[in-house]
Structure 1
Amino acid sequence: MTTDEGAVRYAQPAGPFDPAAVTWTPVSPRLAGARCTAIALTLLVPLAATVLVAVLTAPWVWVFPAALVALLLWALWLVPRQVRALQYAERDDDLLIRRGILFRQLVVVPYGRMQYVDVSAGPLARRFGIASVQLHTASVGTNASIDGLPPQEAARLRDRLASRGEARLAGL
């Protein structure tokens, strides 16, 4: 396994999720910070409420704030691992997206099936300097999105995928 410019190349296939001769490009590690911030903000109100209830009532009620803190710590441990597992690869005829640690997923999107490509970034994503690329295909069930790309890379990927999709679609 060698690394060049943030991409990982596998010399031989290691299973259905590691095709041969594919250069995987990881997403930005800033995605982990954005997701952890969103989780922390989501759990902040319930945590404050359960602490208030625990202070005003019986000592056994402290179980609920403790459970929320445990959930937060588990999420802070898990999210960076999930982000490291999110990678994509551009091949001649298709785009590969893989994600997941325990339940792995590999999505293969042929360029000829792409209808349009969206780039989006909400307020939190913009604060962390990341964007998402969403691929829309003829199939409704395709979950082809890449979160956590630097905005320049998202724009480059959007333009490249759109031009490759047009070229493949014109050949039909």
Structure 2
Amino acid sequence: MNDGPFDPQGVVWQAVSPRLTTVRLISTAIALAVPLAVTLVIAALVEATWVWVLPAAVLALGVWAAVLVPRQVRALGYAERDEDLLIRRGILFRALVVVPYGRMQLVDVQAGPLDRWGGIAKLQLHTASASTNAVIPGLTPQEAARLRDRLAARGEARLAGL
């Protein structure tokens, strides 16, 4: 199915690892744990019944994230073409980033503690443009290393042709 500018014809998209879903859900749970604990303490100490709306709102936010995060991860993808790399993301607010190999200056692989625990890494491309948001999260470490080496080689080959 061709979906206009966000799904060019003939492009075979590579999905990111589904482990990214688990890592993002754990990260969200950690971020919501403190607000949930604080609102529960406040609700327990205050005698007004309406205050229980606060911890309920934090829980609702957690449920919303549990529904949204898997869809966001499924929407992530990348594709290598002859002259450029395509990265797509987003459900409601979609984005397609096209990075020509000749514009790449640095290919960076990163993994925080939670990423390493989940067995994933993030590949970030740096170009001459400061506003480039070329990041592919949720790659297996092997795929991130392979892609880093391949993109760096392609970038060097394109720069040598200038």
TM-score normalised by the shorter chain: which range applies? over 0.9
Partner of residue 164, structure 1: 154
Counterparts of 1:14 and 1:46, CA distance in 2: 40
Partner of residue 118, structure 1: 108
Q: Does 1:134 align with 2:124?
A: yes
> Relative contact order (alpha carbons < 8 A, sep ≥ 6): 1 or 2 greater?
2
Partner of residue 40, structure 2: 51
SS at 1:19's partner residue? Answer: coil
Counterparts of 1:140 and 1:123, CA distance in 2: 27
SS at 1:97's partner residue? Answer: strand
SS at 2:93's partner residue? Answer: coil
Partner of residue 74, structure 2: 84
Matches within 5 A, 1:1-172: 13-57=2-46, 58-172=48-162
Counterparts of 1:28 and 1:148, CA distance in 2: 5
Query: Percent same amino acid at aligned positions?
Result: 70
What's the TM-score once normalised by structure 1's chain length?
0.92
The runs of 5 or more residues in structure 1 that have no matched partner are 1-9
* Residue identity in the other structure for 1:99: R
Encode CA deviations 1:129-170: one digit per residue, 9 max, x unaligned.
000000000111100010000000000000000000000010
* Residue identity in the other structure for 2:132: T
Counterparts of 2:99 and 2:72, CA distance in 1: 21
- Report the Cα offset of residue 14 of structure 1: 2.8
The runs of 5 or more residues in structure 2 that have no matched partner are none
What is the RMSD of the two structures over their aligned residues, measured on CA atoms?
Answer: 0.7
Encode CA deviations 1:84-130: one digit per residue, 9 max, x unaligned.
00000000000000000001100000000000100010000000000
- Report the Cα offset of residue 56 of structure 1: 1.2
* Residue identity in the other structure for 2:73: V
Counterparts of 1:56 and 1:103, CA distance in 2: 41
Encode CA deviations 1:37-82: one digit per residue, 9 max, x unaligned.
0110011011011111111112111010000000000011000000
Q: Report how many residues are paired.
A: 161
